Structure 1
């Protein structure tokens, strides 16, 4: 009698999708709190507080960009921190979570502005209201994650290679050479 064996499928790391996605909500609220046009806690300049000033549109987008790059670097530290059973699946789920988190951060920032911000007449230009003018900023979280994981893994690989190298005492050796009288 032949026994049928079931092949065990690896489980997808859903936490690496859910946690970065959920982290997008506080990141979006933080964007509205810090950015010009929101509560403007970074500059506190009243001239940058009104959305009618076009000079504040770039710093508003750059504030979200900085938050997303920071979040991407932080996620990369968790992805490259320890040995994982399936690092490719972990990375892909982390990148998908980062993209979802970036979109949620954008939407949470816009919702924060609608709920807690002043009413704004954006009939002249849509950017007068708290908004994101450069949508490619949303790709910075997954991009920063991917680049940071690459750099961290490369550094780990080079460090392991240096520790495993045999020192033969040749001219290119990094071992110090003793100088003095020979006995």
Structure 2
């Protein structure tokens, strides 16, 4: 399961970079020492959260399929690990994306000056999408696989069989 931890951490960094690259830019205007925006820019802010959510869903889908098939003997352990590491990976992506995005410091700017709105995740629920998709996919893959080896009784004379 250490592969899930390592890959999820690296995927979180990659997801943060993708979010920073794919998220739409939003421009605000300095008003009374604060950063204001109109409805059109509000749509861009929604688009930022939507990009984060969709990229997270993609990572959850791909990693869940890979690790469920790779560790097919332990579907419950994979499901739990993917659920936990999905949240961790999303948190890493949020930190990386916000670090790479614009700062939005309005100190010293006059009213009416335009400035990039900082890249922030406004929807905390978006942090759970990677995990939710991963859990559903891992459960579906485990449900439809035809690996009955752990459940078959041992052959007579095999280690673990009774005489």
Asked if Structure 1 and Structure 2 have the same fold, meaning a TM-score greater than 0.5 normalized by the shorter chain, the answer is yes
Alignment counterpart, residue 104 of structure 2, candidates 114, 120, 125: 120
- Note if 1:14 corresponds to 2:15: no
Please list, as runs of the form range in 1=range in 2, the aligned pairs for 1:1-183 lying within 5 A after superposition. 13-37=1-25, 49-51=26-28, 52=37, 53-82=41-70, 84-113=72-101, 117=102, 119-121=103-105, 128-156=117-145
SS state at 2:119 partner:
coil
Higher strand share goes to which structure? 2
Compare CA radii of gyration and give the structure with the larger one: 1
TM-score by structure 2 length? 0.69
Structure-2 separation of matches of 1:155 and 1:87 = 12
Structure-1 separation of matches of 2:145 and 2:64 = 13
TM-score by structure 1 length? 0.62
| Per-residue deviation, residues 1-25 of structure 1 (Å, max 9, x unmatched) | xxxxxxxxxxxx2221221122101
Unaligned runs of at least 5 residues, structure 2 = 29-36, 108-115, 149-163
Structure-1 separation of matches of 2:96 and 2:22 = 13
Unaligned runs of at least 5 residues, structure 1 = 1-12, 38-48, 161-183
Higher relative CO (CA 8 A, sep ≥ 6), structure 1 or 2?
Answer: 2
User: Retained in 2: the 8 A contact 1:17–1:97?
Assistant: yes
User: Retained in 2: the 8 A contact 1:99–1:141?
Assistant: yes
Q: How many residues align?
A: 129
